[in-house]
Structure 1
Amino acid sequence: MVEREVIKTIRLTPVELQMIQEKMKQYGTQNFSAFVRKMAIDGYVVRLELPELKEMVSLLRYSSNNLNQLTKRVHETGRIYDADLEDLQQTHERLWDAARDILSALSKLK
């Protein structure tokens, strides 16, 4: 038998503990330590690399910047230009397209 001499403590919310216990039932074990060791060693971590998300963040920054500039100009001149509104509308449509692409990519993950 392996002598385990290192002790690590984790803090969980009641909801997290319940989720772990449900996974333990699915796995067919009641040994919390063994389950956590197995998951920590053999489990996997999902790191999402979604270029669509980076594009969306970029579009949000661009859109926010344009909206701030437009607001400042309207306050200064009292006018709003069709070209500015068209640019905002196009950016808004691109944001929605990016959001749909992200949701589509996420729905394919299993």
Structure 2
Amino acid sequence: MTNRERNIQINFRVNEQERDLIYKKMHESDVKNLGAYLRKMAIDGQIFKLDNSPLREMNTNMSRFSSNLNQIAKRVNSTDTIYTEDIQEMKEMMVKIWQSQKYILSKLP
């Protein structure tokens, strides 16, 4: 045991419900090794698993908005005309972006 990086052992006892809860939280955090999970929790106290899919969706919507805005700007510069449909489309895209942002902010601690 002297050749191990971690040569000090710490033991503690739990009941069945506590064990099940520990394994459930370990599974939710995508940690496969119980020792690594318990060590991480004992040292840092918390493990966060972030879902970035709402951010990716918002980035996609913002990219579409930017592309559409550039296309509209080109058309306005060449024809000196802006269409009601263009303005409505931009408003709808902004609503999607704001909804994504509100969702993301509502999920933050």
| TM-score (norm. length: structure 2) | 0.57
Deviation at 1:52, TM superposition (A): 1.3
Instruction: Work out whether 1:58 is the aligned partner of 2:60.
Output: yes
Rounded to whole Å, the distance in 1 between the matches of 2:58 and 2:5 is 51
**Structure 2, unaligned stretches of length 5 or more?**
7-38
Percent sequence identity over matched residues? 40
- CA shift in 2, pair 1:49/1:77, >3 Å: same
C-alpha RMSD of the superposition: 2.8
Question: How has the CA–CA distance of structure 1 residues 42 and 101 changed in structure 2, closer, same or farther, with 3 Å as cutoff?
Answer: closer
> Is residue 50–residue 102 contact of structure 1 (8 Å, CA) maintained in 2?
no
For 2:105, the equivalent position in structure 1 comes to: 103
Partner letter of residue 86 of structure 1? Q
The answer on whether the counterparts of 1:63 and 1:88 sit within 8 Å (CA) in structure 2 is yes
> Which structure's relative contact order is higher, taking Cα pairs within 8 Å and 6+ residues apart?
1
Q: Distance in 2 between matches of 1:95 and 1:89?
A: 10
Mark the runs of 5 or more structure 1 residues left unpaired by the alignment.
5-36
Equivalent runs, 1:33-48 vs 2, <5 Å = 45-48=47-50
The equivalent residue for 1:49 is 51
